[in-house]
Amino acid sequence: MQFYKKSETNRLNCPIQLTNQILGDKWVLLILRELFLGNTKFDEFEKNLAISKSVLTVKLNLLVQHGLIIKTDYKEEKKRTRSEYQLSKKGSELIFMMGAILDWGNTNLVSKEETYLKIIDKTGAPVKLVFVNQNNKILSLNDLSFELS
């Protein structure tokens, strides 16, 4: 694999840094996991993650502010109004990152003897991520390099 080398990376406008400012903490990625698993309600997050209410509130508000999730109120018959949180388009586009983490984590960290999480297609077969060029031709890692432009 080739690497681009330059002494002056653009730090402030860097997509890694900006993304890390949103996702780089103890909880946000795990909340996103719950959202991708289809959970939408406050108490589902609270129960599944064993997170404190106050922190959960803060993180959900943060995700709303950044436009990754959308909060809506709904009401079932004879019940009080409740809130639910759903991934926005922007948020759901993180599925590529989630898929990459799933692949890497399953390969390198997870015990395959136990139950584990993965992404499958409609036939139930596991999928994988690949880099492609403009013509959808699959690229080898040796073809890739980082660049500032």
Determine the Cα–Cα distance for residues 121 and 112; give it in Å rounded to an integer.
20
Angle at which helices 28-36 and 53-65 cross, to 10°: 80
What lies within 8 Å, CB to CB, of 99 at 6+ separation is 119, 127, 129
Per rule CB under 8 A, is residue 99 in the interface with its own copies?
A: yes
* Residues between 82 and 141 with contacts to DNA, criterion CB under 7 A: 82-84
Per rule CB under 7 A, is residue 22 in the interface with DNA?
A: no
Per rule CB under 8 A, is residue 143 in the interface with its own copies?
A: yes
Q: Which among 20-28, 52-60, 71-79 is the span making contact with its own copies, rule CB under 8 A?
A: 20-28
Choose among DNA, its own copies, none what residue 72 binds, the Cβ cut-off being 5 to 8 Å by kind.
none
Q: Which among 52-60, 70-78, 97-105 is the span making contact with its own copies, rule CB under 8 A?
A: 97-105
Per rule CB under 8 A, is residue 74 in the interface with its own copies?
A: no
Determine the Cα–Cα distance for residues 56 and 58; give it in Å rounded to an integer.
5
- Among 119, 71, 63, 72, which residue's Cα sits nearest to residue 90? 63
Per rule CB under 8 A, is residue 58 in the interface with its own copies?
A: no
* Residues between 33 and 52 with contacts to DNA, criterion CB under 7 A: 41-43, 50-52
Q: What is the DSSP letter of 124?
A: S
- What 3-state class would DSSP assign to 137? coil
Task: Choose between 8 and 81: whose C-beta lies nearer to its own copies.
Answer: 8
Task: Choose between 56 and 106: whose C-beta lies nearer to its own copies.
Answer: 106
